[in-house]
A and B are shown apart, each in its own frame.
Chain A
Amino acid sequence: RKEVEQDPGPFNVPEGATVAFNCTYSNSASQSFFWYRQDCRKEPKLLMSVYSSGNEDGRFTAQLNRASQYISLLIRDSKLSDSATYLCAVNPWSNQGGKLIFGQGTELSVKP
């Protein structure tokens, strides 16, 4: 079993749709969680850190469920510019360095 797993998609949605991505992680001691966005042939860019209480940034909402070991990303009112690959990343422990374990990414395509 992979340490971090995501549905690879692709997700094809119309503009204005709401789309949700899930990501599961296997290490229950994991401490920090992130969503990155990666455009084609570009580097990953941090979209959001994910906190236990959940957090929202405009149209984007991230949630963490420690009991079930998954994190989610909700995108509301999707735009054409949201088309990208969304990467879930987990830091498996704290105080021992910040290496990130990535999922394979979920591709999103928003159509007019």
Chain B
Amino acid sequence: EAGVTQFPSHSVIEKGQTVTLRCDPISGHDNLYWYRRVMGKEIKFLLHFVKESKQDESGMPNNRFLAERTGGTYSTLKVQPAELEDSGVYFCASSQDLRGQGSTDTQYFGPGTRLTVL
């Protein structure tokens, strides 16, 4: 079974540019999460989709970040315009929703996208 995939693996952009990250969850997983790890800090939650709906976007840093999951399959995370402090590793994770709660199902992480903003 294919795992969570993310594209690109690395991205180097200049401040003010736009970058779009993509995540393909495990097939059949309704829950999709975005996390970010800034260097030297812990992994932080950004947002959670259940199918195509945003269940929780409390971790989104500001309105320069836009996440979508049209059709409830893959998701994109766009940063526009990028700032220096957006550099970090962006992880996507997915899980099934076996009990309709989402809280205890194992989250499988993708390999991450390493974003560098110069």
Contact = CB atoms under 8 A, between A and B. Distances in A.
Interface string A87-112: 10001011111111111110000000
Interface string B85-118: 0000001000100000111111111111000000
Given A43-B91, A43-B112, A98 B107 contact: yes
Contact of A87 (B41, B43, B105): B43
Given A32-B103, A43-B110, A46-B106, A98 B95 contact: yes
A97 B56 contact: yes
Contacts of B44: 102
Range of interface residues on chain B?
20 to 34
B55 A97 contact: yes
A102 B33 contact: no
Nearest to A44: B109
B103 A97 contact: yes
A42 B95 contact: no
Given A43-B109, A105-B42, A96 B103 contact: yes
Contacts of A94: 101, 103-104
A9 to B, nearest CB: 14
Given A45-B109, A98-B107, 7 more contacts: A2-B42, A4-B42, A31-B104, A91-B104, A98-B33, A98-B48, A98-B102
